[in-house]
Structure 1
Amino acid sequence: MDNEINVKIKQKHAGKINKGFPLISKEILLNENQLPEEGSIIKLVDEKNRFIAKGYYGRQNKGFGWVLTRKENERIDQEFFNRKMKSAYTYRQNFFHDQDTTAFRFFNGEGDGIGGLIIDYYDGYYVISWYSKGIYELKNYIIAALLNTVEAKAVYQKKRFDMKGQYIEEDDFVLGQEPAFPLIVKENGVNFAVYLNEGAMVGVFLDQREVRKAIRDRYAKGKRVLNMFSYTGAFSVFAALGGAEKTTSVDLANRSRPKTEEQFRINGLNPEAQDIIVEDVFKYFKYAVKKQLTFDLVILDPPSFAKSKKFTFSAAKDYKNLLIDSIAITEDNGVIVASTNSSSFDMKKFKGFIEAAFKESGEKYKILEEFSLPMDFKTSKDFLEGDYLKVVFIRKLKG
């Protein structure tokens, strides 16, 4: 692209961008009104017109665009996107040869050099998520780069950006041969039913792969397991396959029941032998306390932000109280799997929530192990917010 538009940034922010920070935020811009149309390639210069970086302009919740290169002479053209895509493929080459895991993250935004762009792989089918109108305007380059790099059975896209005040979670079939749904993919030998044509959430969160494996292989055997915010029951399926005595899955969404039943069935498990409950998680905590129900393994993986009729949950504000509710129904020597995908706080602060919850509950605990994003979710050392996943396995010690 030859049409590069100079955009001035404040002198005090130039060093940070120069050192590797990839996000173009509102606060660094000298004049927000100088921005061109979304999708334009912009050349960031300091107040003395010295080159800092090139990127694209695209508004999303995190900022106004992303840096693509710090080389002034590097052209943002088809070959540029081809290089990025081939680098992503090389980094994940081993995943393509793993017959036990046929779903993974193929391209992870700024970790692979293009913020605002996610591509997931499902057994030869690719799903592209566009997080701004700006990156979507570059779609022809990106789809061509993908097809220049891999053989795709089909490509789907999810538009995850705001247009005229409307948040879009729209899916489109782009090209190739559509599969019959559900499409069955594998994760560490376990089957998942996914629907690439059903909006933003296709049926499984790929970033929890290592956590699910740990639950199956090391924590579930003989245990009564409670899976809160269970979505399609992936944790419950892994726990059942790991020999859990029984699993209880709780989620507010009506579709969680048939989706969870389906995941059990495609793995040869009888969903009737498990408890699958459609209810507000916070109501279920009260019910469990009233009925004196306790569990050996409690899994907490709430969304960063959730809203029900009577309650709004924010991980940054409410996770401590969620843990307090969980501690109350966890057996002595039981384990709580505390997970959050909130990028608004780090692991240190998350552990602070854990410490405060146990202190208020009058209980002692021991941290057994921790997880962050798996290898395919490549992150940038210069953008810590991108390494969002924090999972802690906590043993509730006998008093």
Structure 2
Amino acid sequence: MIEVILKKGKEKAVLQRHPWVFSGAIEKVKGKPANGEVIRLIDAKGAFLAYGFYNDQSRVAVRLLEWNEENPTDDNWFRARIAQAVKSRAELLSSGDTDTCRLIFSEADYLPGLIVDKYADYLSVQVLTSGIESVMPVIIDELKKQLTPKGIFDKSDTSSRAHEGLGESFGVLAGSPPPELVHVKENGITYGINIAEGQKSGFYCDQRDNRRILAGYVKGKSVLDCFCYTGGFTLNSLKHGAASVTSVDSSALAIETLAQNITLNNLDAAKQASVKSDVNNQLRKFRDEGQKFDVIVLDPPKYAPSRSALDRASRAYKDLNRLGMLLLNEGGLLATFSCSGAMDLETFKQVLAWAALDAGKQVQFINQFCQPEDHPLRSSFPEGEYLKGLLCRVY
């Protein structure tokens, strides 16, 4: 096995089980490993540190897998990791009111670059690293053994694969292709998921718990659901007694699927209105029209893909939340989220404080939102904590 030698003094993070080794920490590579090949990482004195995937095209040159030298990362190692991840979600899926979740969450499940989402009897897979790409036959075989899905679909059509020297990949990996809409259950609500054409892997199951929490605040209230996608917060609000829900998204497919989901759940369509529009433009239009709401949900896409984008993203988050605050009735609730891993919760709170100042509002933080149990946070990998949110009362 090819050895990668760290520079002197660069082993601390590795010993603390952080799974990333950046290219600048490497002193020497003995040999020419192929991208995605498993290598032995050793310190400057020649002592074994860990096994990991190597990639000379990525800023993260080694993605670590195993720290025990006596436990080689062969096919059985990968099978055991998959089985462990599936088993850890068993209780979540046993309730009967939820049959969709994230089965494998990349580094958090010790499989860097592998995302697997379960949508009823189908699996949606994203492969983001060359190492995982190299062992996909084993992964697919083990997923079939563990879950016997009707089909496994590849949604690796993301530009981030270019950082690993990979092209986009899309299509059926095993079994049959999914139908146009796969019906799944989450918290007792049925959703139609378009795996092939939907955003990301098809659905945002990371908001499952937060949808349920917010539903406890909406009875008899007027709700504005921004970046609504296929209606996670909208459907929960209608089911739990909201007086009205206005849903805004720029995607025509999302708006169409939301309408189908309302019918699918026998909810009162008369209480809901959809607006296909850019959210920021629509918020300004609502402001100019003098519209007000009791509860507003702001769940935007990732504004800060890296720390270098944090200043620009902070300005975007501030402006978005300022507009939201201006549209709330006195004492109304703002449920606001960031899925940018580069923005921590304290920074997000500061951004909201700036937004409140610009809006001339007073804000109380009354609840915090986070990612659910199927998106676990690995203790040695704080970068895995990406989703955070705050429930704010605005005066």
Report the counterpart of residue 92 of structure 1 in structure 2.
89
Give the match for residue 307 of structure 2.
none
Q: Deviations over 1:292-313 (max 9, x none)?
A: 001111101111139xxxxxx9
Q: What is the match of residue 185 of structure 2?
A: 186
- Deviation, 1:233, is 2.1
Contact 1:112 1:379 (C-alpha < 8 Å) held by counterparts: no
**Distance in structure 1 (CA, Å) of the matches to 2:163 and 2:386:** 28
Letter in 2 for 1:259: T
Mapped to 1, the partners of 2:264 and 2:337 lie a distance apart of: 26
Q: CA deviation at 1:107?
A: 1.0
What's the offset of the Cα at 1:200? Answer: 5.1
Aligned to 2:53: 56
* Partner Cα separation in structure 1 for residue 217 and residue 294 of structure 2: 9
Change (3 A) 1:186 1:109: same
**Cα pair 1:330 1:396 within 8 Å, conserved:** yes
Secondary structure of the residue aligned to 1:221 is coil
Does residue 127 of structure 2 align to residue 130 of structure 1? yes
How many pairs were matched up?
A: 389
Matched AA of 1:18: L
| Structure 1 CA distance for aligned equivalents of residues 8 and 330 of structure 2 | 56
Q: Which residue of 2 aligns with 1:240?
A: 238
Amino acid at match of 2:194: Y
Structure 1 residues 79 and 166: CA distance shift in structure 2, 3 A: closer
1:119 alignment partner in structure 2? 116
Equivalent residue, structure 2, for 1:309? none
Contact 1:78 1:145 in 2 (8 A): no
2 CA distance for matches of 1:113 and 1:200?
25
Tell me, yes or no, if structure 1 residue 11 matches structure 2 residue 8. Answer: yes
Kindly provide the amino acid, as one letter, of the partner of residue 175 in structure 1.
Answer: A
User: CA offsets, 1:222-275, max 9 Å, x none?
Assistant: 111111122222211111111111111112223232122122121113545422
Deviation by residue 1:16-64 (Cα, 9 ceiling, x = unmatched):
1111101222332235897622210011112222211111124797723
Query: Separation in 2 of the partners of 1:385 and 1:336?
Result: 26
Counterpart in the other structure of 2:152? 155
Q: 1:33 to 1:42 in 2, by over 3 A?
A: closer
Kindly indicate whether the alpha-carbon contact (under 8 Å) linking 2:102 and 2:116 is maintained by their aligned counterparts in 1: yes
> Secondary structure at the residue paired with 2:9?
helix
Contact 2:224 2:293 in 1 (8 A): yes
Deviations 1:296-340 (A, max 9, x none): 11101111139xxxxxx9534421121111111111110000101
**Structure 1 match to 2:393:** 395
> Residues 27-66 of structure 1 correspond to what in structure 2 (within 5 A)?
27-31=24-28, 36-58=33-55, 63-66=60-63
Instruction: For 2:368, give the aligned amino acid.
Output: E
Aligned-partner Cα distance in 2 for 1:10–1:320: 41
Distance 2:58 2:227 in 1: 24
Q: 1:262 to 1:377 in 2, by over 3 A?
A: same
Structure 1 unaligned residues grouped into runs of 5+: 307-312
- Contact 1:171–1:199, Cα closer than 8 Å, also in 2: no
Q: Match for 2:322: what amino acid? A: I
367-376 or 200-209: bigger deviation: 200-209
Mapped pair 1:70 → 2:67 = yes
In structure 1, the partner of 2:219 is 221
Shift in CA distance, 64/263, structure 1 to aligned 2, threshold 3 Å: farther
Which amino acid is the alignment partner of residue 2 of structure 2?
I
The TM-score normalised by the length of structure 2 is 0.91
Residues 300, 258 of structure 1: CA spacing in aligned structure 2 closer, same or farther, 3 A cutoff? same
Contact residue 4 and residue 30 of structure 2 kept, 8 A = no
CA distance in 2, matches of 1:296, 1:60: 50
> Contact 1:248/1:276 (CA < 8 Å) preserved in 2?
yes
Structure 1 residues 346, 305: closer, same or farther in 2, change over 3 A?
closer
Q: Would you say 1:372 and 2:370 are equivalent positions?
A: yes
* Residue pairs, 1:234-313, within 5 angstroms: 234-271=232-269, 273-305=271-303
Percent same amino acid among aligned pairs? 27
The answer to whether 1:354 aligns with 2:346 is no
TM-score, normalised with respect to structure 1: 0.90
